[in-house]
Homo-oligomer: A and B are copies of this chain.
């Protein structure tokens, strides 16, 4: 079966920059390419957009198929369409980025563990196509959004401490935050609330556990 058109058409794919934070490092999910071009090279998860799905659905589907991750924050980043970005065919890629909470980063059993892996953002292997460029732009967008939205909460598990949240900010921004000012600022947003429970965690005072008030919502602030 083949599909014919009067004019040449590019192929359209979605690629997803999947971020998580684990052990105080920003991590990025990559898959090893099984097919040419860039066979054996690490790349962003992604694939062709199907005729009956929206772009965001395509990105969510690819993410779930290749990694088992579903229901996470997903936002369109940018569309890349340089004529030579794929050496073989004209491919236009609508890039998204996704944020995975740290309690949901176990990868799909279906995927061969060798082929899907988290990498530290500062220790990425060479990436296929222009994927390093896409990943850099995603990081810039994410860091910018920390300053004017509650997007960082998308990384948090059900319950978390203010110290853990602060570590998330420090990891993405690559800069230490003043503890007292950070707490004042975050609590003033009224986006999280204390649960009353505490986390006992070693030979020191236990920390209050917080939860996100409206986990779906990313509020724009100020």
**Residues in chain A within 8 A of chain B (CB atoms):** 1-12, 48-49, 51-55, 76, 78-79, 81-83, 90, 92, 94
Contact = CB atoms under 8 A, between A and B. Distances in A.
A147 to B, nearest CB: 10
Nearest to A51: B8
Contacts of A78: 76
Nearest to A89: B5
A111 to B, nearest CB: 23
Contact of A92 (B2, B3, B8, B55): B55
B12 A92 contact: yes
B9 A5 contact: yes
Nearest to A2: B4
A137 to B, nearest CB: 11
A78 B54 CA distance: 14
A209 B52 CA distance: 55
A3 to B, nearest CB: 5
B3 A4 contact: yes
Contacts of A76: 78-79
13 contacts: A2-B4, A3-B7, A5-B9, A7-B11, A8-B51, A9-B10, A10-B51, A12-B92, A49-B81, A54-B81, A55-B92, A79-B79, A79-B94
Given A5-B5, A8-B51, A53-B83, 6 more contacts: A7-B11, A9-B10, A10-B49, A49-B81, A49-B92, A54-B83
Looking at A4, A48, A55, A82, the one whose CB has the most chain B CB atoms below 10 A away is: A55
